[in-house]
Structure 1
Amino acid sequence: MSNRIMLNETSYHGSGAIQEIANEAKTRAFKKALVCSDPDLIQFKVTEKVTNVLDEARLEYEIFSDIKPNPTIENVQNGVKAFKEAKADYIIAIGGGSSMDTSKAIGIIIANPEFEDVRSLEGTAATTKPCVPIIAVPTTAGTAAEVTINYVITDVERKRKFVCVDPHDMPVVAVVDPDMMSTMPKGLTASTGMDALTHAIEGYTTKAAWEMTDMFHLKAIEIISRSLRSAVANEKEGREGMALGQYIAGMGFSNVGLGIAHSMAHTLGAVYDTPHGVACAMMLPIVMEYNADCTQEKYREIARAMGVKNVDSMTQDEYRKAAVDAVRQLSQDVGIPQKLEALKEEDLDFLAQSAFDDACAPGNPKDASIEDLKALFRKLM
C-alpha cells in the first residue's frame, strides 16, 4: 500500500505575503480573476487589501460575494454563472472556509460541467479535469481549506451538509498572511482555532494516519496549543502562530481524513446553523473520550504537544485523561460553550443518521454505530 501527499504548487507565509499575488497572476499569465469573498469581509475592507494589490498591478477582476457562512448549492450555482459572465480565467478566494469551499465548487464545475447540479460532487466524485486555478487567501486561522482537497456544501432543502473530497480542487497557490487575519473578532478566532485543533487531533488519530502526517499533526497541535489564547487576545505572535499551525494541520488531514467529531459537527451546522468551529470544539473532547481505547499511545503525545508535564510518568489512563482535559481547558479558556441549547431529543435520530452517513465518519479510529452517535450527541444536552 502506498501513501499519497498532495499540497499546493506554491505557498507564501508571513506578514505582507499578499503582495505576491500579483506576481503569481502575471507569471502564470492569468487575465481576469473572479474574486470570491463574503459580504462582511467586503464591508470591513478586508477584501480590499487584496484588490488594492490587483489595482496597483493593473490586473482585472470582478467580485462575487453571494456566499453564506455555510455555503449552499445556490451560492455555488450563482458563482458558476458569475464566473462565466465575468469571462474570468482564475479565482482568488478571500475568506474562511466558506469562501474557499464555494470557490472550489465553482472551479470544479466550470472545468467539469457535468456536475453542475452540485449534489453529484458529494464524496469522491469522478471529476476528470482540475478546477480552474485558485489563489487562496485565508482570513481565518482554522479551516486550512487553502491546502486541502476537501470542501463542504450545505443542502438547504435536505437539511444536511455534504463533504466533497477531490484532488482536482486543490488551490494552486496559498497565501497565508497573518495580517489578513488581524481583524477577526475574538469569537471567530476561538472557534476557527478549535477547528484547526480538531483537524490536527483527528488527523493524528484517524485510521489512515502514518509517519509523515503524524509529523504534521503533532507540530500543529503544539503550535495551536501555545498560540490560540494569544491569538484570541489579538496578539501578533499568537496570530502568526495560528496562521502557521492551522496550515500545517491542513497539510496532514487533507491527506488522511478526519473522524466523527467532524461528521457530527457537520450535521449540527446543517440542522441548527451552529458555527462549524464551535460544533467541532464542543464535540472534540467528547469524541476523544469515546476513541481513547483505540488510540494506543497517541494521547500521550497529544498531551505532550499540548504542554502537559511529566507525561512519561503517567499511566495510560492518566495520559489519556490529561490529553482530553487539556483540550477541554483550552476550549473553555477561549470561550467556547460546552452545551448546545438548541439540541432536542426528537432530532437525535436524524442527527445520528446524518453523522453516520458523513464522509468523515469512516476515518474515525473507532467504528461508531448510530446508537453510539446518539449517545455522544446527548452529552451536549
Structure 2
Amino acid sequence: MSIVDYSVEYPSTELQGFYGWTDTLRGIQYGPGSVSTALPKFFKLLGVSKALVLTGKSLYEKTDVVKKVEGCLQAIDAYGATFHQIAQHSPIAGIREASKVFTDAGCDVIVSVGGGSPVDAAKAILYYLQQERGGETMPQIAIPTTLSAAEYSIGAGYTDDSGKKVAVSSQKLAPAAIILDAELTLATPENLWLSTGIRALDHCVENLYRPLIPPPLKVMGLSALADLFKYLPESKADPTSVEIRQKLQIASWMSLWPLKLEKYSALGLSHSLGHKLGAAYSIPHGITSCLTLAPVVELMAEIGTEQDKEYLAKALFYLHKPSTGTVEGDVLELSASIKQLVADLGLSTTLTDYNVPRDDIPTIARNTLGTETHPVFPKVVKLLEGLY
C-alpha cells in the first residue's frame, strides 16, 4: 500500500464532494455495560443465529472479557465456538484455522473481541468465505477493547506466509454492528490502551490531509484530537475510570468516522510507514504511530499543500494553544505537542528498541512510497534515520 502522491493535485473538498454511510454498518451501541443488551438487539436486527467468537490468546486466557461475551451469546442460544489464536498483525495461518472452525460450527456471524487484529482477521475470513461460497458477505459484530478504530473501516490488513502485509477491501467488510462497552476495556494492558489511543490520534491527524475527506469530518477529527489529548493522560492517571474510557472510545470512533468514498483514498505517510514497519518487524500498530506521527507532521510543514497545512494548524485552537504567527510554525508546534504527549504517556520508543537494522531504511522508504524516484524519498529516508 503506497501513500498519497503529494505531487498530484487532488480536487479540493472545501466546496464540492460526496459523503455517504457505509453499505454495511447497521448500528453502534455504546455505554458501560451495554454488551448484554446490545448483542441480543443486533442478532435480531441482522437476522443471524450462531456466532464464532474471534479473539486473541492473552485476552482469552488472562481476562474474563471473552467469557462475558460467550455468556451473553449462550443466554440467547447463539454461541457457536470460540477461536482465540489470532495473533498480532493477523497472520494468515490463524485466519485459515478460524475459517475452518467457523464453517464446522455452522456459524453465520463473527463476534470479534479485542483490538485491530481480531477485527481485521474477521474481515479477512468473511472476505475469503464470500469469495469461496458466493452470495452475500456474512456480518461481523465488533466489540473493541482498544482504541485502534479498525472496526470503522472497510479494509483489513493481515500478514501472509512470507511476512508481508496484505490488504483486502470491500464496502461489505465494515462490521455490521459495533459495541463500545468501556467496562470491557478495564483489563486492556496500559501500554496497549494508550498506544492505540495514539493510533486514533494518527487517524485524526492524517484525515486532515487525506484526499476527498469532506470538511465536516475534518472538524470532527479535530474535536476527537482534542479529546484524545485531554483524556489519554487522564486515563493513565486513573486507569479504573470507566467514564474516561468511554469518552476515549467515542473519540476513537470520531477519529475514523465510517464513510463511503467514491474512490479509494489512503490515509497518509504515518499510516503507510506503520504498515511497513509493523508487518516486517512485529511492531504493534499503536507503537508505530508513537514512532512516526510527530515526525510526519513535522515533514508536512514542508511538503504539505497550503490547505493541508491550514487544517493541521487549526489543531492548536482545539488544543487551546496560541498560534506561533505562521502556518508552518503552527504545524511544527502540533508536531512538538504530539511528541510531548507520547512522552508524557510513557510511550517514547525507537527503531533500535525493535531491532530494525539501519541498513533497512532505504528498503522501508521504497516499500512505503512504491519507488525510490518518489519526490519525497530522500526526506522519508531522513525521517526514518531520526527514529533511532
**TM-score of the aligned structures, taking structure 2 as reference length:** 0.86
Deviation (angstroms), 1:280? 1.1
How far, CA to CA, are the matches of 1:52 and 1:355 in structure 2?
A: 43
How far, CA to CA, are the matches of 2:260 and 2:335 in structure 1?
A: 23
How far, CA to CA, are the matches of 1:346 and 1:149 in structure 2?
A: 35
The within-5 A match list for 1:54-203 is 54-113=73-132, 130-141=136-147, 143-157=148-162, 159-203=163-207
Number of equivalent positions:
356
Deviation (angstroms), 1:22? 1.7
How far, CA to CA, are the matches of 2:258 and 2:296 in structure 1?
A: 20
Deviation by residue 1:27-77 (Cα, 9 ceiling, x = unmatched):
433221111111111111211121111122232321012210111122222
SS in 1 for 2:167: strand
In structure 2, what is the equivalent of residue 344 of structure 1? 357
Contact 1:308/1:322 (<8 A) preserved: no
The alignment status of 1:325 with 2:336, answered yes or no, reads yes
Cα gap change, 1:301 to 1:252, in 2 (>3 Å): farther
Match for 1:16: what amino acid? G
**TM-score of the aligned structures, taking structure 1 as reference length:** 0.87
Deviation (angstroms), 1:92? 0.6
The alignment status of 1:355 with 2:381, answered yes or no, reads no
SS in 2 for 1:205: coil
Deviation by residue 1:350-374 (Cα, 9 ceiling, x = unmatched):
212221249xxxxxxxx75433322
SS in 1 for 2:87: coil
Cα gap change, 1:198 to 1:356, in 2 (>3 Å): same
Contact 1:130/1:169 (<8 A) preserved: no
How far, CA to CA, are the matches of 1:140 and 1:9 in structure 2?
A: 21
Contact 2:83/2:98 (<8 A) preserved: yes
Greater mean alpha carbon deviation, residues 248-257 or residues 287-296: 248-257
Match for 1:89: what amino acid? D
Cα gap change, 1:304 to 1:156, in 2 (>3 Å): farther
How far, CA to CA, are the matches of 2:259 and 2:281 in structure 1?
A: 26
Higher relative contact order (CA 8 A, sep 6+): 2
Match for 2:172: what amino acid? H
How far, CA to CA, are the matches of 2:226 and 2:258 in structure 1?
A: 14
In structure 2, what is the equivalent of residue 289 of structure 1? 298
Cα gap change, 1:58 to 1:368, in 2 (>3 Å): farther
The within-5 A match list for 1:224-239 is 224-233=228-237, 234=239, 235-239=241-245
Task: Specify which of 322, 336, 345 is matched with residue 334 of structure 1.
Answer: 345
The alignment status of 1:42 with 2:60, answered yes or no, reads yes
Cα gap change, 1:245 to 1:129, in 2 (>3 Å): farther
Task: Specify which of 27, 30, 45 is matched with residue 13 of structure 1.
Answer: 30
Deviation by residue 1:237-260 (Cα, 9 ceiling, x = unmatched):
321121100011121688554111
Q: Runs (4+) of structure 1 moved beyond 6 Å?
A: none
Deviation (angstroms), 1:135? 0.7
Cα gap change, 1:169 to 1:52, in 2 (>3 Å): same
Cα gap change, 1:253 to 1:199, in 2 (>3 Å): farther
Gaps of 5+ in 2: 1-15
Contact 2:40/2:76 (<8 A) preserved: yes
How far, CA to CA, are the matches of 1:216 and 1:257 in structure 2?
A: 18
Match for 2:46: what amino acid? R
Deviation (angstroms), 1:156? 4.2
Cα RMSD (Å) = 2.1
Contact 1:39/1:66 (<8 A) preserved: yes
In structure 2, what is the equivalent of residue 259 of structure 1? 268
Contact 1:214/1:252 (<8 A) preserved: no
The within-5 A match list for 1:198-237 is 198-233=202-237, 234=239, 235-237=241-243
In structure 2, what is the equivalent of residue 249 of structure 1? 255
SS in 1 for 2:346: coil
How far, CA to CA, are the matches of 2:157 and 2:229 in structure 1?
A: 26
The alignment status of 1:24 with 2:53, answered yes or no, reads no
Deviation (angstroms), 1:2? 4.5
The within-5 A match list for 1:301-320 is 301-305=314-318, 307-311=319-323, 314-320=325-331
